[in-house]
Structure 1
Amino acid sequence: MALHFKRSEYDQRIARVTAEMAARGLDGLLMFQQESMYYLTGYDTFGFCFFQCLYLGADGKLALLTRSADLRQAQHTSIIEDIRIWTDAAGAKPAAQLKDMLESLGCRGKRLGIETESYGLTHFNGKAVDAALDGFCALVEANDLVNRVRVVKSKAELKYVRKAGELGDAALKAAIRKTKAGADEGDILAAQQGAIFAGGGDYPANEFIIGSGRDALLCRYKSGRRVLKARDQLTLEWAGVYRHYHAAFMRTLIIGKPSKQHLAMDRAAREALAAVEEQLRPGHTAGDVFAAHARVMDDHGMQKHRLNACGYSLGAKFTPSWMDSPMFYANNPHPIGPGMVFFCHMILMNSDAGAAFCLGRTYIIGDKKPEPVSTHSLDMITR
């Protein structure tokens, strides 16, 4: 098996999840989130875009229902021994085969948690699962069960997060070397991704974001490349990725002389990030982090240009997004605790002036102050 952690690590994770299941009165858990499957067993695939379910019993029993294309994937990358295959065919009914599997596992009449907030469980398949299991067992929403356990990382996981941070720094250095007037965005993007692959890293859970000129004001990837002008702005959002663990970063690089708007945004972003760091400590909440961000941004007159969130948790994530829960938005009560990993982004987009400025990096929460996983300076980058 190609496991990235010791078997004892997986056993500890399963024990924590089954303890939480017992606290909620659940006899079993039906997992559709790929992150849950990877966390508990090491199972690594993108086949979750098709119907796939991992069962965990209160006794720690694991059973996977998947397609034939993922059989060897599961055998090679996970600790799962009981692997069942639903049959690809015209009129295939994987939900019915899930019921058959659960019947064989003694789940009739039981109370099972289910992850329905999953990219791998479409509305179509979700309705099929509900219909197949109607009257067979009681289904209870349990979207947050594994998520709340895995939000706190082990020492072994944090080693991978720090490695991802190193790869993220390497990607930034590669981008800086390529950034200048006349440079093509495609070359910059290739340099970033190449640095991560060369360092032993992985594909990110979503596309890197790159945009210059007016496109620098976008917070999402879009198709199409541009050549940098003598006076320009380049927004980059990327992540170092190692064993699927992400360390995300965001910077706006200034080509030529910074504008007055850029200088004002830089001051606001750096002060806001410093205020956020003060809240990234045990005893505070995700809502406290956002409140610090909003207060400083608004004091700088940036309320119109900031976002309604300023970061989120990170971990081992799969497509289509590296964003994880909890997120930093107003009044979010989720507590901040040691071992958590957060990406904090200070994003400013002034559509009136056509100016953008973004500053963000990833932190590991400690017993006292947070640990940034990047060693790169927060000073404005000019080229």
Structure 2
Amino acid sequence: MRATGERRRGIAEQVEMFMVATIGSGIPWTAVPFPKSEYDRRQQKVLEAVARAELDAILVTAHGHLRYLTGYHGFGGYFAPFPLILAPGHAPIFVAREYDAEAVRAEGCVEEIVPYTHQHDVAKVCGDVLRRHGFQNRRVGLELDCWNLTPADVSALRGQCPDIRIADASRLVASVAAVKSELELDVMRQAMAMTDIAVRAFQNLVREGVTEMEVYASIAGEVSKAGGELWRSVTLVFGDRAKVPHGAPTPHAIRSNEPAMVELGGAKHGYAAGLVRSAVLGRHPEAESLHALSVEALESALAAIKSGVSASVVDAAVRKVVERSGRRRVFRHRTGYQTGIHWTERGNLSLEPTADDILEAGMTLHLPIILFGETKYLFGCSEHVVVTGSGAELLSRTDHKLFHA
């Protein structure tokens, strides 16, 4: 254990040391969180997937995938797509808005940046790059089912390169990003340490009359005091507001004999470690019954997880528990999903009935088993895990059993 702890400290030191390095930008500070060798490894893995898919190139446009492959956070990408063009035998090319070019250069690790000025220019610039490398009539993958690419973008690119053969590569980068390196796993563990601080603050504050906003403010304060940050999306609901999916904190106060539920995640370098934890102030039979079933279903899923198992098998383990209870309608969503950078990215691995993805060691998954009660309460728990060859490693150190206040 001591050797493992020393290795993890070494990884963390590598990451922090790289934060003050420069990538040839002339700017004395960058926000690239990993060594360039890590991004080179990721890009090479994607290029290998490109070859397996019999593509000549890929245009990566999803924010999460861009951040994964380059380090650039993508905050300027609201304007229009910032395509990253990857092709075997060619250096990566980042097509980005001219206004943001220096940020892309300073906060990413791609040397060649080709700028455009106005939104209607992006297809022309991409077309010019593709023609320069001879890809205007080749088979090129686009992330057609991911955020940040519209039908108009695809149509405009076709207008520039009428003979291009477009293939859907929506899941290509996601499949590579699903398996984490040791550097990524270290960041995920650091993010979960902040999640656990947040959960303990939530549990310590559930008492008569406290409001959701007050609890959230205290949670944020505790995480900040520990030097961490929270993922931007937080669910925090008390009492009847536990009937609101993804309910953000409000001035609503909790009363005796009411439920409380929180879903949040600590974050580091864009990696979020989400968790669902629930509490009851006093007694609430319906919420307590739902939570007991969610625990049983969650633990069945955890027992099914290991490298080589299909995602649908894990989902089936949950549904079997729910069906055996005779309350099939309480479970109305998927069992879980792939996590990492931008855990809401479309195209990511999903634990659901039709999923044929095979779990691999190093994948990280969030399993929120939130159930619907007869009076529309949503209540449950989750775990965030690393898939291993023999099972699931829990990242959180807080118990998923119901907390009684």
SS, match of residue 197 in structure 2? helix
1:245, CA displacement in angstroms?
Answer: 1.1
Q: 1:28 to 1:198 in 2, by over 3 A?
A: farther
Shift of 1:155: 0.9
Per-residue CA distance 1:23-75 (angstroms, 9 max, x = gap): 22222111111222122221222222222211112114111111133212211
Q: Which amino acid aligns with 2:122?
A: P
* Counterpart pick for 2:263 among 223, 237, 240: 237
- State whether residues 60 and 85 of structure 2, in contact with CA within 8 Å, keep that contact through their aligned partners in structure 1: yes
CA contact 1:45–1:70 (8 Å) conserved in 2? no
Deviates more, 1:232-241 or 1:336-345: 232-241
Alpha-carbon spacing, 1:17–1:234, altered in 2? closer, same or farther (3 Å): same
Residue 20 (structure 1) aligns with: 49
Distance 1:373 1:42 in 2: 24
- Say which is worse superposed, 31-40 or 262-271, in terms of deviation: 262-271
**8 A contact 2:66–2:74 mirrored in 1:** no
Query: Aligned in 2, Cα 1:285/1:362: closer, same or farther, shift over 3 Å?
Result: same
Contact 2:137 2:161 (C-alpha < 8 Å) held by counterparts: no
Q: 1:222 to 1:172 in 2, by over 3 A?
A: closer
Instruction: Work out whether residues 251 and 357 of structure 1, in 8 Å CA contact, stay in contact via their aligned partners in 2.
Output: no
Task: Specify the alignment match of 2:333 in structure 1.
Answer: 308
Alpha carbons of structure 1 residues 202 and 122: separation in structure 2 relative to 1, 3 Å = farther
Cα drift, residue 7 of structure 1: 1.8
Q: Report sequence identity in percent.
A: 22
| Structure 2 match to 1:217 | 243
253, 257, 264: which one pairs with 2:289?
264
Q: 1:355 to 1:15 in 2, by over 3 A?
A: closer
Rounded to whole Å, the distance in 2 between the matches of 1:302 and 1:98 is 53
SS where residue 98 of structure 1 aligns?
helix
CA distance in 1, matches of 2:225, 2:146: 32
Q: Unaligned stretches of 5+ in structure 1?
A: none
SS at match of 2:255: coil
CA distance in structure 2 between the partners assigned to 1:200 and 1:107 by the alignment: 47
Q: Deviations over 1:104-124 (max 9, x none)?
A: 333232221111222211333
Cα deviation 1:136-166 (Å, max 9, x = unaligned): x222111111111111111111101111111
Partner secondary structure for residue 304 of structure 1: helix
Q: Which runs of 5+ in 2 are unaligned?
A: 1-21, 23-29
Once the two structures are TM-superposed, the CA of residue 315 in structure 1 deviates from its matched residue by 0.8
Report what 2:155 is aligned to. 127
Question: 2:323 aligned with 1:298, yes or no?
Answer: yes
Counterpart CA distance in 1 for 2:57 and 2:354 is 32
Partner secondary structure for residue 268 of structure 1: helix
* TM-score, normalization by structure 1: 0.91
1:330 aligns with 2:357: no
Cα pair distance change 1:142/1:211, threshold 3 Å:
same
Which of the residues 280, 284, 293 maps onto 2:305? 280
Look up the match of 1:178.
205
Answering whether residue 234 of structure 2 is matched by residue 208 of structure 1, we say: yes
Aligned mate of 1:47, from 67, 76, 83:
76
Residue among 26, 29, 33 paired with 2:62: 33
Could you give the per-residue CA deviations for residues 247-276 of structure 1, whole angstroms, max 9, x where no partner exists? 11112221222x222332232121111111
CA distance in 1, matches of 2:378, 2:241: 9
Which aligned pairs between 1:43-122 and structure 2 lie closer than 5 A?
A: 43-51=72-80, 52-88=82-118, 92-122=120-150
Q: How far 1:132 moved relative to its partner?
A: 2.7
How big is the shift at 1:339? Answer: 0.3
TM-aligned CA deviation for residue 354 of structure 1: 4.8
Query: Are 1:375 and 2:397 matched, yes or no?
Result: yes
Deviation at 1:359, TM superposition (A): 0.6
Deviation at 1:286, TM superposition (A): 1.0
Q: Distance in 1 between matches of 2:123 and 2:260?
A: 47
Cα distance change on mapping 1:86 and 1:197 into 2, 3 Å = farther
User: TM-score, normalising length from structure 2?
Assistant: 0.87
| Partner SS, residue 328 of structure 2 | coil
Q: How far is the alpha carbon of 1:362 from its aligned partner? A: 0.2
SS of the residue corresponding to residue 330 of structure 2 reads coil
Q: Deviations over 1:10-33 (max 9, x none)?
A: 222122111121222222111111
CA-atom RMSD in angstroms? 2.0
Q: Give the structure 1 partner of residue 8 of structure 2.
A: none
Kindly report which structure 2 residues correspond to 1:158-169, keeping only aligned pairs within 5 A, or say none.
158-169=185-196
- For the residues of structure 2 that align with 1:353 and 1:230, how far apart are their CA atoms? 18
Counterpart position of 1:226:
252
| Paired letter, 1:46 | F
Deviations 1:76-128 (A, max 9, x none): 11111111221137xx3321222123223332322211112222113333332
